[in-house]
Amino acid sequence: MRKQIAAANWKMNLTLQQAEALVDELLATPFSLNENQQAVFGVPFPYLIAIHNKFIGKNNCYVSAQNCYTKKSGAYTGETSVEMLTSIGITYVIIGHSERREFFNESNAMLAEKINCCLSNNLKPIFCCGEPLQIREAESQNSFVETQLKESLFHLTVEQITNFIIAYEPIWAIGTGKTASNEQAQQMHKHIRTVLANNYGLDVANTISILYGGSVKATNAGDIFAQPDVDGGLVGGASLVAADFAVIINSLKK
């Protein structure tokens, strides 16, 4: 069975003190993770070491950066390299979130470079894809997402993409309170897996965890995660509430 993952994306929120208090509260809240489940916490850069240390010894809990740069080192003031992240014990990094694409003009080609940097340093990417509202309204979402996948991931070998993580986030549902219906989520997740299978084979496609992101809440996570091709979620606002995120973790498929 594919890994079932509850991934938190804290975005640009919380002070260090608030972040530490959130983790302390979460760790005091009942949730469980079996060997096939993971909780991943996408933490702002200044807090990575502190929050990583909070989870030392906690089975199947990992800390993720929210971004990285395309170069290993150099005169790139303000950027963070994958080598820096691995040197402090970070396991995951979110790549290609729609906010990075929209506000920082990250292209599919740039994201391919970031993926390469991650994999060359044993850092696991969580690759985001998804369509804006106008694409959904034009019913062009399948081809739009397929292009994102092909241009950023299809240079990878079978070995590199096996056990990969993809997060599908309909942009029109991020932070809006709107959520894709369970049927819409399943349809796109199945389409993504089909696109992967057509290029890499069904056996490889069936190893890849595909997460849903877009106004996932404690109240809807169970229904969304129950869909056959949905392997968990990339969660924004609800991950900032310990009790809610604990419910979301407990909603993962067993």
Per-residue pLDDT of the chain (254 residues; tens, 9 = 90+): 799 999 999 999 999 999 999 999 999 999 999 999 999 999 999 999 999 999 999 999 999 999 999 999 999 999 999 999 999 999 999 999 999 999 999 999 999 999 999 999 999 999 999 999 899 999 999 999 999 999 999 999 999 999 999 999 999 887 777 778 999 999 999 999 999 999 999 999 999 999 999 889 999 999 999 999 999 999 999 999 999 999 999 999 98
- Spatial distance between the Cα atoms of 5 and 60, rounded to a whole number of angstroms: 10
CA 73 – CA 48 distance, rounded (Å)? 19
Per-residue pLDDT, 139: 94
> Looking at residue 178, what is its pLDDT?
74
Among the listed residues 174, 184, 26, the one whose alpha carbon sits nearest the alpha carbon of residue 94: 174
Tokens of 26: 């979460």
Burial class (CB in 10 A: 0-12, 13-18, 19+), 103: exposed
* Predicted pLDDT at 39: 98
Q: Which of 145, 184, 183, 147 is nearest to 167 (CA)?
A: 145
- Residue written as token pair 């850092």: 123
Nearest to 67 by CA among 38, 39, 103: 103
pLDDT value, residue 176: 76
pLDDT value for 210: 98
- Residue 174: predicted pLDDT: 76
21: Cβ contacts below 8 Å, ≥ 6 apart: none
Cα pseudo-dihedral 101, 106, 109, 111, rounded to 10:
-80
Residue 173, pLDDT score: 81
Q: DSSP string spanning the chain?
A: -PPEEEEEE--S---HHHHHHHHHHHHTS-----TTEEEEEE--GGGHHHHHHHTTT-TTEEEEES---SSSSSS-TT---HHHHHHTT--EEEE--HHHHHHH---HHHHHHHHHHHHHTTPEEEEEE---HHHHHTT-HHHHHHHHHHHHHTTS-HHHHTT-EEEE--GGGSSSS----HHHHHHHHHHHHHHHHHHH-HHHHTT-EEEE-SS--TTTHHHHHTSTT--EEEESGGGGSHHHHHHHHHTS--
Q: Half-sphere exposure (CA, 13 Å, Cβ side) for 211?
A: 34
Residues noted as catalytic = 97, 169
Looking at domain 4-250, which of 3.40.50.1360, 3.30.70.660, 3.40.50.300, 3.20.20.70 is its CATH number? 3.20.20.70
